[in-house]
Structures are given as C-alpha cells and as structure tokens.
Amino acid sequence: MVDHVVRRFGARAVLNGLSFAVEANQAFGIVGANGSGKTVLLRLIASLDRPTSGRVAVHGYDTLRRARAVRDRVGYLPEEPMLYDGLTAEQYLQFVGRARGLGKQVRQVAVDTLLQVVGLDERRWRDVSSFSPGERRRLALASALVHEPDVLLLDDPLRGLDGFARLEQIEVLRELHRLGSTMLLAATRPEDALEICDTIAVLRDGAIAWKGDDEAAAALASPQQAGLARVRAEVLEGIDEVVTLLGQHRDISELEVDEDGRTVWFLFSGDREALAGLLPQLLRAGASVSHFGIERRSPAAAIARLFHEGSG
Amino acid sequence: MPLIGALVIKEFQTWLRGRLTFAAFALLVLLVALMVFLLGTLILAPDANAAPALFSTTSTTSTNILVANRAIFLFGAVGLCVILAAAVVAPAVSASAFASERERGTLDLLLLQGPGPARIVLGKVLAALVFSLLLLAVGIPFFAPAWSFGGVQPDQVIAMITILCTVTLFFCALGVFFGSLFKTALPAALFAQGVALFLVFGTLGLHLAFAILSGNDTFRPLLWLNPFLALLSGGGNATDTFARGAPAAFRSVLSLPPQSWAPGLLLPAWVIGSLAWTALAVLLVVGAAIAIEPTHPLKGSAKRQAAR
C-alpha cells in the first residue's frame, strides 16, 4: 500500500502524492517514461529508501518502522542485476540462501530448483561474469526468489532482452504469477507489463495518470465512439501542409503527430468515400505520403501515449 | 548469525579467486622481509660479542641492553613490522571490500537479506579481519631468528598476538566505516589508511612535537592508542630498562606505566590499548551500520533539516 507518498531529490519531486494499493496475488504493472520514478517507487517499497512524506506498507508492515519485516517478505529484482563477479551461479545462490539463514539441505533444494526454473541449471558452475545480460537477469530473479517472498518487486525485468531470452523470462514470470506470487512490475515499455500483469498503471508527473486492466487498455486504443475510424498516415514530406489541411476538415478530430514528426493519427467520422478522397487532397497540397489507412492502435502504444500527455 | 558467516565465506570465495590477492601476498612478504632485515641489522649489529648487560655490573647503555635482550627486541621489531603492514593492508582490504559493494550495487542485496545493517558491517569487518590476519601470517617465519636466540616469554607472545588482533580489528572497522561513507573504494581506502597511519606515527609525532616545542602534554592520552608503544609495554623488564636508558624527552613516551583501574587490577598499556581499539571498533561498526541503513531515523531527521 502506497499512501500519499512524496519523494523529493532536492527541489525535484519524483513522486508527488502517489497513492495505490496492490491486492494479494495480483500482478500490478507500473509503466512510465525513463525518469518517471518507477525505480524510486520500488526502492521505497523494498525499504531501500525513505519517502520525503507519506507512508508505504507491505503486508501491513511500515517500510520505515518495520524495515526488516518488509525485507523478509519482498524479493527485489533491480534494473541492473546485483551479482558478484568471481562467484559461480551456484556459489551466488548458496550465498543468498546462507545469508537468509536457510539450512544446508533446504538451501541446496532451493538452489537446484531455482536454477532449473530460470534455466541456468547447466551453467551453475560458470562464473557469473561470463553470463549474458539475459542470464544475469534470470540469476538475479532466482536470487530474489530464494526465500520464497510474498511480494516480488521487478524493475524492468524484460529490459534488454529480445527473442528467445525475452520469451523465456515472460514464461517464468507468468508461471510465478500463476503460482500465486504478488508482483509489482515496473516497465518502460507498456507491452512488457501487458505480457505479465493483470492491472497496469501509468506513472506520470509523480502520480498515477491512468489505471486499468487489459480490456481498459484495449478500449484506450479504440476510438471512443461508434462510427469513428482511427487513421494513420506516414508523411515523408510536407507534414505542415498535411496538418493544416487535416486540421481544417470538419470530419477529423484528435489530430496528433507522433514524436518522429512523420506519423499522423486522427479520428475520422465521415464515410469511406470521404476518407478515400482525403489522400488525393493531401497529395495535391504537395505532401508525399507513404502510408494512409485505417488502423487500430495497439494497447501498448495507446498506453505509451499517456506517458507524456498533459505533462509540462 | 547466518549473514555474517555467509559474508565471510563469500568474501573468501571472491578474494581467493583474484590475482590481486596473490600479488598482495607476494608484496607483503617482500615488504615485511625488508623491514625485518633492516631492523634486525640495527639490533644485531652493535656488537654481537659484547657481554650481556644483564650480567654486567657496570654498563647499562642502550647498546648493551639491546645486545643482552636481542631476542626480545628482534621479536618486538618483527612485531612492529607486522603492525605497520596491518596499518596499510587491513584498512585497504576492508574499505575496498565494503565500498565495492556500493559501487556494484550489491549493498542493496545485502540489506535485503533482512538481518540488519549491523550484521552486514560486522560480517564485512570479520571477513576483512580474518583475511588480513591470513595475509599478515606471512610474517610468522620472520619471528624464527628471535626464537633461536631464546628468552621470549609466553606473556610477551600473548601480548603481541592480542595487540595484533585487536589493532587489526580496529583497522578493519576503520576501513569499513570509511567504505560506508564514500561511494568509491579508492578514497575510502586512502582515508582509512591515513587514520591508521596517524595512529601508528601521528599520535607519537603529535605528542612529541607539542611536548618538545611547548612543553604541552595535551596529546599524551593519544599515546595509549599507539600500537607501537603498546607493543613496547608488552616487552616487560627489557623494554622498561631500554626506556630508562633513552634520552629524557623520549623516556616518558617509551614507557607507558600500567594503570590501576580497580583495586588490585593493574592494566599494562597493551591491555588498555587493546580494550580501546576494540571499543573504537564497536563504535565504528555502529556508525557504519547507521550510514548504510537508508531507513534509519537519524537519516530521516537529517533529511527533514536539509529540507527546511
């Protein structure tokens, strides 16, 4: 539970009155742009930082007054895996288990199981300095699970992973969620959170700007009224002319240009013939258009648009 | 104490895999050997055939005392070399071991293990202590000449071991303390070594400077923290006699008299020093634990004051 939390660094408020609660067994995704305060939030929940004001509690334990109780209950996977180069994967997990006070037999079972779960069983005697970024992340995840935490705090667990490594990590996290883990996952890419979480919240200007589940995200991507079509145009030249022309059209609303300065989105309320007549108008106005058509925005793209909307 | 044990094992697993460790071992052997050679030459050179002063009725010069007690002085000289090596090695080992946790971001990992920052600091100090003592064990063979002369008493060996262990503990705590304050290993190690070397040389120099130049005794209490003088106090009659034969200005410095702390309890300087180093080490551990705990109430009040 995060209650009116403010975290300032000097004059800058990274978190500004943030409040939300995560239910047991829920996979809650916090998405936001770089520097939006996701990592700060996770560190506050893991009792690795103090809020300037407000209160954070895990399972009812205040992170300031009962830091040890909180740390016993959370497993934290940071953005950069915290590993000791010079130790093997086996030695590293043995160290974490020993530090957690697990007995020798329990520890060995935990290490064997976790190495299998994260797919590093055959690499257990390799020095972690020789691990790929994906393997390092999976080993760090295993270390966060050694003490069977009640709450998993995952800071961009899919960052830098692609292809098979990404799919593997997603599968591991989904399986953990299926087994009943409560997760709080921070991600810069909304699609990462959508893969794993059942609830997503957008962190912007230090507070929750939007919150919803998969369906709400899909709705966010769809036009708000029946009879509207979302149109995407890729403009190679003459973007100003295109924006001027479209801005004057009575059937067009929610005209937006992406950050790339080439992609134009708008909602069109007219019929198909009227839409088909738009392209020749754009070409006559001197624009060079490489793509023009009706498109659904993906839920991830719709969420990503919220990162900057309305922010100063 | 699972975290402390885990930390000690982990530190050894990482240290013993590094080439730097073996380089440090080799360098330490060379340095201790060189220092022992130079001091041994000083002690053994005066006159190897001179009549021992203990059996002389006329001569009590420093040279004769040295010759008569060459075993104990050689023993003490090797001890001095090992303590000097400890003042250089132990703070560096512990400071870099601790600061590197912060550099790697693994301090968070340790904090998340649950048992609390004090045990993390204690584990680091103990790991560094064991490792430093292992490194310093390279000095053991250099005690052999002292044994071959005979005359070193068991209580002098006990004094030496106690001083070495407690002062190394203090040096390690010093390193961990500075490691907890600095973000990188180098300044932490340099500051810790600076304070350790001040204890070894600075306390003596400061007291002598003020005593000789202005007759001021203000810094005399610091002498109780000097490991060299503590070692000298463990030498028994031989060093007392040696101190009495020294120039007047150095006499009071070289001989720190035993202190009575309770009726019938007379504590020699090396015991007082050992107790002081241990107490200071505990204070440094507490200080470092506060420094690394992000949720400590003291940090909250400091942050609020800064915000005002």
Return the residue in A100, A129, A152 with the most chain B beta carbons within 10 A, the one to mutate for interface testing.
A100
Contacts of B297 in chain A (CB under 8 A): 64
- 3-state secondary structure string across A17-74: EEEECCCCCCEEEEECCCCCCHHHHHHHHCCCCCCCEEEEEECCEECCCCHHHHHHHE
CA distances from B98 to B8, B92, B176, B234, B288 (A): 12, 10, 6, 33, 10
Note down the domain range covering B283: 2-296
Helix H or strand E segment including B112: helix B106-112
Q: Is A83 on the interface with B (CB under 8 A)?
A: yes
pLDDT digits (tens, 9 = 90+) for B138-164: 778 777 777 777 777 788 888 889 999
Lowest-pLDDT range of A148-162, A171-185, B249-263: B249-263
Considering only the beta carbons, identify the residue of A43, A50, A101 that sits closest to B303. A50
SS3 label, residue B48: coil
Contacts of A95 in chain B (CB under 8 A): 6, 9-10, 13
Q: Is A129 on the interface with B (CB under 8 A)?
A: no
pLDDT of residue A109: 94
pLDDT digits (tens, 9 = 90+) for A89-139: 999 999 999 888 888 899 999 999 999 988 888 899 998 889 988 889 889
Domain assignments of chain A as residue spans, ordered by start: 2-213, 223-295
C-alpha span between A198 and A215 (Å, rounded):
10
Q: Is A64 on the interface with B (CB under 8 A)?
A: yes
Return the residue in B106, B295, B296 with the most chain A beta carbons within 10 A, the one to mutate for interface testing.
B295
User: Which residues of chain B approach chain A closer than 8 Å at the C-beta?
Assistant: 2-3, 5-7, 9-10, 13-14, 17-18, 104-106, 108-116, 293-295, 297, 299-300, 303, 307
C-alpha span between A270 and B52 (Å, rounded):
118
* Exposure class string for A127-156: b at 16+ Cβ within 10 A, else e: bbeebeebbbbbbbbbbbbbbebebbbbbb
Assembly ipTM? 0.74
C-alpha span between A190 and A220 (Å, rounded):
13
pLDDT digits (tens, 9 = 90+) for A10-37: 888 889 889 999 998 999 999 998 888 9
Residue B15 pLDDT exceeds 80: no
In a domain, B306, yes or no: no
Q: Is A298 on the interface with B (CB under 8 A)?
A: no
pTM listed for this prediction: 0.77
In a domain, B101, yes or no: yes
Same fold, A2-213 and A223-295: no
Question: Do the Cβ atoms of A99 and B18 come within 8 Å?
Answer: no
Structure tokens that stand for B167 in this block: 């002062």
The residue of chain A nearest to residue B305, with distances taken between CA atoms, is A52
In a domain, B308, yes or no: no
pLDDT of residue A151: 92
pLDDT of residue A228: 79
Kindly indicate whether the domain formed by A2-213 is annotated with CATH number 1.10.10.410: no
pLDDT of residue A223: 63
CATH of domain A223-295: 3.30.70.100
In this complex, how many residue pairs, one in chain A and one in chain B, have their CB atoms less than 8 Å apart?
A: 84
* Number of domains observed in the structure of chain B: 1
Q: Is A42 on the interface with B (CB under 8 A)?
A: no
